[in-house]
Copies of this chain bind each other. A is one copy, B any other.
């Protein structure tokens, strides 16, 4: 049986109440529930605690993009119920290692969030340090500046996957984008506004899963 890419929802809401309102209708359809950076900045770890309390059987991700203090921040995230946390790609390798060490003590995981000018040389160092997950990102501000998904994006995702990373893909994804990645064993696709702001968010989530099953099933 083939392994299907997981579906993750990014709760980039600006308040806990709004995030709960978003997740309420789609939570059961989703594999990974992300307390987005915006939500974490707004509400802190309370957001992560509430999401895990509501969805104990789901993977909860604290997208805090740690840049330093890896061990302490990892402890905070995991103690709050997060299964995964993110570390920003420009963090020192010591930060990644510290977060990963904390993760491994409790069967949790660390994702490196790829922003800006990271290199494959760095990525090789992360693999060597035991990092298994990366998040390939088309940033919001880059999107706003008009950058679409291009062949370069697809090639990079493929190369990261070939290096042995479990790759999460994100950045204004809509179902029509998914086919671009069909030849790559993507680990997780993140949808945010395309599900949260849909007229029928539950149906939008199901449509994502249907299209994923079509291409990877």
Interface residues, chain A, CB within 8 Å of chain B?
12, 14, 37-38, 40-47, 64-73, 76-77, 88-92, 94-95, 98, 113, 115-118, 122, 137, 139-142, 144-145
| B76, B91, B98: the one within 8 Å of A116 (CB) | B91
**Contact A41 B67, beta carbon cutoff 8 Å:** no
Q: Report whether B115 and A68 are in contact in the complex, using a CB–CB cutoff of 8 Å.
A: yes
Q: Which residues of B contact A88 (CB under 8 A)?
A: 65, 67, 88, 90, 115
From A43, A94, A118, A137, name the one whose CB has the most chain B CB atoms within 10 angstroms.
Answer: A94
Which residue of chain B is the closest to A62 with respect to CB atoms?
B41
A44 CB, nearest partner CB in chain B, Å: 3
In the bound assembly, the distance between CA atoms of A42 and B77 in angstroms comes to 9
State whether B76 touches A41 (Cβ < 8 A).
yes
Q: Which residues of B contact A118 (CB under 8 A)?
A: 90
Are A64 and B41 in contact, with the CB atoms below 8 A?
A: yes
A94 near B45: Cβ-Cβ < 8 Å: no
